[in-house]
Structure 1
Amino acid sequence: MHSTLLRRWAGLGAVLCLSLIALDTLAQTPAAAPTNLIERGRYLATAGDCIACHTAPGGAAMAGGLAIATPLGAIYSTNITPSQTMGIGHYTLEQFTAALRHGRRADGAHLYPAMPYTAYAKVTDEDMAALYAYFMQGVKPVDSAPPATALPFPFNIRASMAAWNTLFHDPTPFRGSAQQPPEWNRGAYLVQGLAHCSTCHTPRNTFMAENMKRALGGGEVGPWHAPNISSDPQSGIGQWSAEELVRYLRVGHAAGKDTAAGPMAEAVDHSLSQLTDADLHAMAAYLKTTAPVADTAAQQPAFSWGKASDQLASIRGVALPKDLGTMTGPQLYDAYCASCHQAQAQGSFDGKLPALFHNSTLGRNSTNNLVLAILQGVPRHGRDTIMPAFARELSDPQIATLGNYLLKEYGNPNAQVTERQVAQLRGNAQDHKLLLLARVGLAAGALVVLLFLGWAVSRSRGRRSGGPR
């Protein structure tokens, strides 16, 4: 009798435990969202290019682990799949919003602004809910942990981001302008928010915050140069037509203007190419009206340099040197470039391979993108590779010689490629100037805080002692 009763109580206890576990699981699992809300969130996540940073090479989508190069060191992207253990599956909508708008994780720790929450803060509450629905119910959960980010002192202290946010972050969602048409407001919302254009195309100050006095005036993305995309006619895109901008955003190429490579090519392939025609036109309309940011070093628009020409006469009948490292620029061009870009650098006959003159990559003062395109090629995701990589075929002296020949013959003759530059870019060496500036900036900020505290303590003591006030 007693054993039967005990078994019944034990069975009832097991049922209650299982019921509580089920209730807890249900409490943590968001209610099923309408399909149209999830699909809207998918589109918004595409506009935000989330997959590009949160997917490591060969890794699962959104599972993190990509090493994002910064002047301070590598920052590894996090797992943003709905995994309950390794991802964001346990996040509530409020916690999800706090991460995107305030740069704060569910555990209260601060995110680094390599995650562009400074731009995502512009996302409206309605779009935030759609994004949440997509990430919780439209993304496959992956139970894997990416490497931990370990920046050098003092940048490894995440709590310091609280002060940084106070100084440099505006968490206010986007507010449209009643003086502008709907298309302009839509473009401003995308450019300032989800597309986070300023994150790459705006220079950083000593504290690694965007210098909004030169918004969209050009910045650095690891070793790549993100050019000026303000409306300035000399330094920016002021002389681009809206249709040229739309075509560039859609396919990564605008004839006579520029061809995307590196991070911009990734943004085109993963994000911009999948936006609606209306949204691309809205972005172009807004960019054409942004405040112009001039670069005094820009003598003329980057796309305006060069013309069709060749130096075949200088190499005709001339044997290659025994030391191939001493090949001339025309010899290197003829051997490695002419088969695709044609003898006079006019590009392929079908227009798929660009001309090298009237090409912004060769017209800018910064030549990093030119060198990186030669070293790494221009691979495209889901598209044909535009240019193969020559890192294995060409030495540092050869790339410097070829780069300078291309600049003098088809681009900005005042720009230059050096062997040291090629060696640094080949080895992915980071320029430590920004790191030094950041540390100096933090030291200066700390000094100001200490001086203020010292002044406040001294003033307090003076008051207690009845001294001058």
Structure 2
Amino acid sequence: MKKILSIVIALIVLGIIAAVALAYAPFKPTPANEELPADWKAEAGRGEYVMRAGDCMACHTAKGGEPLAGGNGIHSPMGTIWASNITPDKETGIGNWTLDQFRAAMVDGIGDHGQQLYPAMPYENYRFMKESDIRALYDYLQTEVKPVKNAVEATSLSFPFNMRFGIRAWNWLALSGESKFKPMSGDDQQIRGQYLVEGAGHCAACHSPRTALMAQGGTRLSDSSFLTGGEVDNWSAPALRGKDSRVQKWTTEQIAAYLATGRNAHAVANGEMAMVVEHSMQYMTDADLNAMAKFIKTMDGQAAEATPEKLATPGPRSSAAPAADEAGKATATMLKSAAPDMPLGARVYLDNCAACHFTSGKGSPEIFPELQGNPMVLGKDASPLLSVILKGTSSTMTERRPMNLVMQGYADRLTDNEVAALATFLRKGWGNQASDVSESQVSKVRKHIEAAAAPERAQ
């Protein structure tokens, strides 16, 4: 036993020595992956479009702050990471950055002073972007964005995460080899979608699982865990691929509509995805939205339906209750009976939810999401569902769908026992198959919501 312990200690010591040696080894920046003429200029509007595709606004803009001026707190298991000012202000922003320094941040996670950037910055994904897009984004930030003087609070994590030299060793283990984009075997539309999903869109940052090292479990199509589901800030990011993926049951056009507006016939975007739609996806062209949808739908060789060149402009929708299907018929019949001995969860649903989501659990297409087969309802972690029940939610307002639909929260109306019963009913009704929810789970989420709201009340 002592011999085994000695070997383990020796391996740990050798690992620490190797990590430190690697951290202080000379840094060799990743070279540009595309040769451009010396006089190359991006076409008008391309840099701003890349900024939208990369969702830079969501992270680098604080609530109530100036666009891209930083100060937004990004929560992570290590602590709060404060997003930097990326306006061209020379004192507090990136006004003095060279193109090489900017590329190093995008591709290698290295700041202007050679410091390691925390991987809340998704350089694991941005490193697949073409040099022309990185250059266009750099030119846009330097010449078209208004400089804002805003000194952002320095990120200060607890030990050992405050020792940034360790990120150098993390990068060595986590980054997936070369940074060059590797196109799939498909048509131009699929390859364009792949490029946007893997690179600027950094979809894997949320929709791929995390490894023991907190690296993305899959960053590109060739990785088996790529887009198989993940978690971010207590929200479940559903699997986009695999036989159990609900998204794969949507049509290509429905996927594109969800990206563009945050809603379709099956779902309404919440949490982080709502922010992605608000700040990024709604600004994408129909061609790129269709390309991303087609890639998602066909990445594992599935066939995809043809999509129109222009996404349909949604018109007024009927709120007529859709009928229950075969799997949901028993639940719908039970709810319609309104029997006095109906289980608590069903009674709570009938009193508070059925007016919008109906006894069929189908909701109203593109207005109120269906609960039957809903990825958030069926998630391994019920916390996102409980959060929505307790504090409510609202749909993202976009140019295509400007109406802001709000679901009230029930924290003040329902007890932990009632919320647990309701959530359990949702996860088992209409043919759904997911685990029960306990009062203790509800209590934990309620306390988390109250703690997060406390600073706002204090202001």
TM-score normalised by structure 2 residue count: 0.75
1:252 paired residue number: 262
Alignment partner, residue 235 of structure 2: 224
Aligned to 1:186: 192
Residue 238 of structure 1: which of 226, 245, 248 is its match?
248
Matches within 5 A, 1:51-70: 51-70=57-76
| 1:426 to 2:442 alignment | no
User: Match of 1:75, SS?
Assistant: strand
Q: 1:192 to 1:312 in 2, by over 3 A?
A: closer
Aligned to 1:101: 107
Task: Report deviation, 1:315.
Answer: 5.1
* Whole-Å separation in 2 of the counterparts to 1:178 and 1:268: 26
Whole-angstrom CA distance in 2 between matches of 1:410 and 1:141? 54
Query: Does the CA contact (< 8 Å) of 1:118 and 1:171 recur in 2?
Result: no
Specify the code of the residue in structure 2 equivalent to 1:229: L
Larger Rg: 1
Letter of the structure 2 residue corresponding to residue 216 of structure 1 = L
**Residues 1:264 and 2:273 aligned together:** yes
Matches within 5 A, 1:267-282: 267-282=276-291
Is 1:361 the equivalent of 2:376?
A: yes
8 Å CA contact 1:183, 1:282 repeated in 2: yes
- Structure 2 equivalent of residue 197 of structure 1: 203
Deviation of the 1:260 alpha carbon: 1.8
Deviation of 1:84 (Å) = 1.3
The structural deviation recorded for 1:119 is 0.4
Q: Percent identity?
A: 39
Q: Does the 8 Å CA contact 1:82/1:141 hold for their aligned counterparts? A: yes
Q: Distance in 1 between matches of 2:212 and 2:352?
A: 41
In structure 1, what is the equivalent of residue 304 of structure 2? none
Give 2:296's aligned residue: 287
TM-score, length of structure 1 as denominator length: 0.73
Matches within 5 A, 1:449-464: none
**Residue 79 of structure 1: how far off its partner (Å):** 1.4
Distance, in Å, in 1 between the alignment partners of 2:348 and 2:83 is 39
| 2:420 is the counterpart of 1:400 | yes
How far 1:291 moved relative to its partner? 4.7
Q: Deviations over 1:305-359 (max 9, x none)?
A: 74561545675679xxxxxxxx9323322332133223443424x7512232243
Shift of 1:216: 0.9
* 1:107-129 deviations in Å (ceiling 9; x for gaps): 11011111101101111111111
Letter in 1 for 2:112: A
Corresponding position of 1:337: 353
Structure 2 spans left out of the alignment, 5+ residues: 1-38, 219-223, 302-324, 450-459
Query: Structure 1 pair 291/316, CA: closer, same or farther in 2 (3 Å)?
Result: closer
How far apart in 1 are the matches of 2:294 and 2:360?
Answer: 35
Equivalence for 1:14: none
Q: 1:118 to 1:263 in 2, by over 3 A?
A: same
Contact 2:246–2:375 (Cα < 8 Å) also in 1 = no
2-structure distance, mates of 1:344, 1:249: 26
Per-residue CA deviations over 1:232-270 (Å, capped at 9, x if unaligned) read 122364333222211221222232x43321111111222
1:360-417, Cα deviation, whole Å (9 max, x unpaired): 3323443233212223322234341342333343333232121112222236243222
Q: Is the 8 A contact 1:304 1:363 kept in 2?
A: no
CA 1:206–1:358 in structure 2 vs 1: closer, same or farther (change >3 Å)?
A: closer
d(CA) in 1 for partners of 2:445, 2:366: 29
2:407 counterpart of 1:374: no
Distance 1:206 1:312, change over 3 A: closer
Match of 1:156, SS? coil
Task: Answer whether contact 2:70 2:82 (CA < 8 A) is retained.
Answer: yes
The one-letter code sitting in structure 1 at the alignment partner of 2:234 is P
Aligned-partner SS, 2:106: helix
Aligned match of 1:117: 123
The alpha-carbon distance between structure 1 residues 267 and 211, as it changes in their structure 2 partners (threshold 3 A), is same
With over 3 angstroms needed to count, the CA separation of the structure-2 counterparts of 1:411 and 1:147, relative to structure 1, is farther
- Pick closer, same or farther for the CA change 1:72–1:424 going to 2, 3 Å: farther
- Residue 146 (structure 1) shift: 2.6
What amino acid sits opposite 1:385 in the alignment? Answer: L
2:309 corresponding residue in structure 1: none
Moved more, 258-267 or 365-374: 365-374
Alignment deviations for residues 149-200 of structure 1 (CA, whole Å, 9 cap, x no partner): 2222111111111111111114744435384322122111101100001111
1:154 aligns with 2:160: yes
Amino acid at match of 1:331: R
Distance 1:392 1:88 in 2: 46
Shift of residue 214 of structure 1? 1.2
Matched, 1:126 2:149: no
3-state DSSP of counterpart to 2:141: helix
Change in 2 beyond 3 A, CA 1:186/1:351: closer
Query: What is the letter of the counterpart of residue 388 of structure 2?
Result: A
CA contact 2:390–2:410 (8 Å) conserved in 1: yes
Amino acid in structure 1 at the alignment position of 2:233: G
Confirm whether residue 71 of structure 1 aligns to residue 91 of structure 2: no
Residue 178 and residue 195 in structure 1: after superposition, are their counterparts in 2 closer, same or farther (change >3 A)?
closer
Contact persistence 2:183–2:195 (CA under 8 A) = no
Summarize the Cα distance change of 1:417–1:304 in structure 2 as closer, same or farther, 3 Å threshold.
Answer: farther
Amino acid at match of 2:332: S
1:347 aligned onto 2:363: yes
Amino acid at match of 2:62: A
CA contact under 8 A between 2:267 and 2:370: conserved in structure 1?
no
Aligned position for 1:467: none
CA 1:94–1:141 in structure 2 vs 1: closer, same or farther (change >3 Å)?
A: same
Q: Are the structure 2 counterparts of residues 181 and 137 from structure 1 closer, same or farther at C-alpha, using a change threshold of 3 Å?
A: same
Q: How far apart, CA to CA, are the structure 1 residues paired with 2:358 and 2:226?
A: 38
CA RMSD across the alignment: 2.9
Give the deviation of 1:229 after TM superposition: 0.8
Letter in 2 for 1:356: L
Change (3 A) 1:352 1:414: closer
Query: CA offsets, 1:34-69, max 9 Å, x none?
Result: 996452111111011111111222222212222222
Q: 1:316 to 1:177 in 2, by over 3 A?
A: closer
Gaps (5+ residues) in structure 1? 1-32, 293-302, 319-326, 430-469
C-alpha contact (below 8 Å) 2:269/2:395 kept by paired residues: no
